Amino acid sequence: MKTRDRIVLTARQVFNRDGYGAVTTAALAQACGIAEGNLWYHFKTKRDLLSAIAQQFAENIEQRLRRKPDPGDPLGSYCAMLGDLMQELRDYRFLYRDQPHYGEHVEPIASRVAEWLVRTEDNIEAHFGALVDAGLLTWPKERLRDLAINATIILRYGLEHHAELGQPQGAVRKTLLQQFTLLEGQLEEAARSEIRAQIERIGADLRVAA
């Protein structure tokens, strides 16, 4: 891995762990195993490093949003969407959590965050609609937007909710299970069992990868 790429990856991990505002360039250099001057060679300021991470974040979101429901496997594509979204929320956690420390004017986040949120709601609504069309979910089509908005709120803030409770262990799994309660009672039995099994798998995979 190139030094610049290693710096970006390590910085993202350290910012997630310690908080953007609490991390110095000296601490970042130490975590990367390089001299601080070498860090400055690639990134003149911590803000420049933040911009590089933000660009990766934007690319990750666009890739996630391109994944539409699969009419041939709506259940599988829905569960894949959940896994993609939770990995994004975990991998770029500080960008969601630490805005008071880095401010509002980091591009491309500042100009696109509202658009990304609406498109995420659109995407989740489309997945729910595919489940309805396949006869796996009983839900009025005109109420799917409300369901998608509520699901987005739970998924977006679930990790921090459990952290603030002092219960960060298994937060991905617990967040997914909380979202699952919105539709669990209206799912066909086999679909309900499969989604629950996939939630357990996603929770285990992301815990191991953390």
For 10-32, write each residue's pLDDT tens digit.
Answer: 999 999 999 998 999 999 999 99
Q: What is the pLDDT of residue 208?
A: 53
Residue 207 confidence (pLDDT) above 90: no
Q: What is the pLDDT of residue 94?
A: 93
Confidence grade of residue 106 (pLDDT, cut at 50, 70, 90)? confident
Burial readout 70-93 (b: 16 or more C-beta within 10 A, e: otherwise)? eeeebbebbbbbbbbbbbbbbbbb
Most distant CA pair in the chain, distance: 60
**Residues 209, 172 contacting (CB under 8 angstroms):** no
Q: What is the pLDDT of residue 193?
A: 98
Distance CA(26)–CA(14), nearest Å, equals: 12
Residues 6+ apart with CB under 8 A from 59: none
Average the pLDDT over each of 29-38, 55-64, 105-114, 124-133 and give the range with the smallest value.
105-114
Can you identify the CATH homologous superfamily of domain 69-209? Tetracycline Repressor, domain 2 (1.10.357.10)
pTM: 0.91
Report DSSP state, residue 67: -
Helices (H), the chain: 3-18, 25-32, 36-42, 46-65, 74-91, 93-97, 99-102, 109-133, 144-164, 171-180, 189-209
Which of 87, 71, 81 is closest to 136 using CA atoms? 71
| Phi then psi dihedrals of residue 63, to 5 deg | -65, -45
Residue 98 confidence (pLDDT) above 90: no
Q: What is the pLDDT of residue 33?
A: 94
Residue 151 confidence (pLDDT) above 90: yes
Distance CA(10)–CA(2), nearest Å, equals: 12
Q: What is the pLDDT of residue 40?
A: 93
Distance CA(158)–CA(161), nearest Å, equals: 5
* Residue bearing the bigger pLDDT, 147 or 103: 147
Residue 209 confidence (pLDDT) above 80: no
Q: What percent of the chain has pLDDT over 70?
A: 98
Q: Which two tokens stand for residue 128?
A: 């729910």
Q: What is the pLDDT of residue 99?
A: 77
Confidence grade of residue 104 (pLDDT, cut at 50, 70, 90)? low
